[in-house]
Structure 1
């Protein structure tokens, strides 16, 4: 039914006394860990939440920065510092817009990754359960 190499792996996974857990060859007890490959959706969800917060915070910061500069030109005609101030404002608006845009693009990708990992886990668990029922 399966290629010989796959069948051998499946048979080993189903042997009593075997945990069936997958591990990386480079991961092992030397570091004090069990050697099992583990993952969680939490870091991805947390990163998505952080991206959302950064997107909101950069929009707020940009609005405050722009508002703070409103009317700064009044009474400063001919001052060289006004040109520098405008240049700094434009630079910060550009940077904040870039962060806002990038975080807006990252958030849904990070959330999708967290969801996809959960779906893969459920699929593997279901497939293994079906296999063990057939044995």
Structure 2
């Protein structure tokens, strides 16, 4: 499948409604989760995503380590064979890829935790700022 085909599968043909939407989007402009028109925030997804990035970082490092151990002694056992150089090249390539994934996940984990913290603090600050504001209710309308 080409990138163009995958793009169309995810987003639909150009000019059509997208095939992919955010899970929280109702499809109506300005309508958030449940179509209420209100944005709802929870730091749970940000914290969860950070944990997932941390787990992926750990798995990438474990895989890189296991891959390296699996190749120990191969160079000595395959000395003189042209495939030894190719195998070493492939090993190096995969080690670099896994290290890049590990490093990116480490950064992503921290960034996601920062967003969770900032969003949580922002929400708390916003709620506190409205505590002194009187909002008219049904009883006020009857007066």
Q: Same fold (TM over 0.5)?
A: yes
Q: Distance in 2 between matches of 1:118 and 1:60?
A: 33
Structure 2 unaligned residues grouped into runs of 5+? 1-27, 136-143
Structure 1 or 2, whichever has the larger Rg, is: 1
Alignment partner, residue 59 of structure 1: 61
CA spacing shift, 1:118–1:75, aligned 2, 3 Å:
closer
Q: Offset of 1:131 from its aligned partner?
A: 2.9
Question: Residue 30 of structure 2 aligns to a residue in which SS?
Answer: coil
Question: Residue 91 of structure 1 aligns to a residue in which SS?
Answer: helix
Q: Offset of 1:32 from its aligned partner?
A: 5.7
Alignment partner, residue 89 of structure 1: 91
Alignment partner, residue 115 of structure 1: 117
**Runs (4+) off by over 3 Å:** none
Deviation digits for residues 61-82 of structure 1, max 9, x if unmatched?
Answer: 0110000000002232221111
Q: Which of 76, 79, 82 is equivalent to 2:81? A: 79
Alignment partner, residue 45 of structure 1: 47
Question: Residue 35 of structure 1 aligns to a residue in which SS?
Answer: coil
TM-score, with normalisation over the residues of structure 1?
0.73
TM-score, with normalisation over the residues of structure 2?
0.69
What is the alpha-carbon root mean square deviation over aligned residues? 2.1
CA spacing shift, 1:26–1:98, aligned 2, 3 Å:
same
Alignment partner, residue 98 of structure 1: 100
Deviation digits for residues 46-93 of structure 1, max 9, x if unmatched?
Answer: 110011101111111011000000000223222111111101100000
Higher helix share: 1
